[in-house]
Structure 1
Amino acid sequence: MTATETAPFEIQPRQTYTPCREGGGRRFVVVKVDGDRAEVWDPFGGPRGLGSSRWVAVRNLHASGTTQHGRQRRTGYRLLSQPTSKWQELCGSCMRWHDEDDMAVIAHGWGHSTCKPCKAANDKRYGAQ
């Protein structure tokens, strides 16, 4: 690989995605990849908002929200975050992976914990509890 080439984008479990277009849907986590589709988990979908799984075409998952020509994507989902270690927790507010020390609340379930920055923002918006 030369200095100008980049590694090919690889879709992997535990990556979180967000819609390329604002208001285009909810964020989700990749559970597994099976050929040309990926099983994803929405922590707040399904009955009573307790989470649900669905399948997404791999062609709709992108490394960024812009095309090769620099234009904003209008469809699909862009990579939001991926864990750097298997010990990180997923914040359900920002859908980013954090080390345990960066978490305000740990619920030990993908998307049900809260990181310190999100807790501070929630406390500011709704009042500290």
Structure 2
Amino acid sequence: MTMHQVTEDQVYEACHPLDEQRRIRILAVTGNRAEVETLGPGPARKRDILLNSLHPTATTANGQPRRTGYRLVEPPTERSPK
């Protein structure tokens, strides 16, 4: 399995259907971890997350919907300038 490229400023959304589309933004990537911050209402919360929890799509290789981790929703090139 090939891991996709995780870079700063990418935005991911929770795959679990009950997580109410919780989003995170990548702040930094080091080794097998990424520092992220939560997006949305309330204060931003920073934490580390393993890179194997970040996925390029909402489906697995065999087409099943993902139930865990986060899927890429916004590459940094698609965002408007800060």
- 1:94-109 residue pairs with structure 2 within 5 A? 97-98=79-80
- 1:59-98 residue pairs with structure 2 within 5 A? 59-84=52-77, 97-98=79-80
Listed one character per residue, the Cα deviations across residues 5-27 of structure 1 (whole Å, up to 9, x for unaligned) are xx861000000000112222620
- SS at 1:98 equivalent: coil
Moved over 6 A (4+): none
- Residue 10 of structure 2 corresponds to residue 15 of structure 1: yes
Larger Rg: 1
Preserved contact between residue 31 and residue 38 of structure 1 (Cα < 8 Å): yes
Q: Higher strand share goes to which structure? A: 2
Q: TM-score, normalised by structure 2?
A: 0.83
Match of 2:49 among 52, 56, 59: 56
Alignment gaps of 5+ in structure 1: 1-6, 86-96, 100-107, 109-129
Alignment gaps of 5+ in structure 2: none
Shift of 1:84: 1.5
The count of aligned residue pairs is 80
- Provide the aligned C-alpha RMSD in A: 2.2
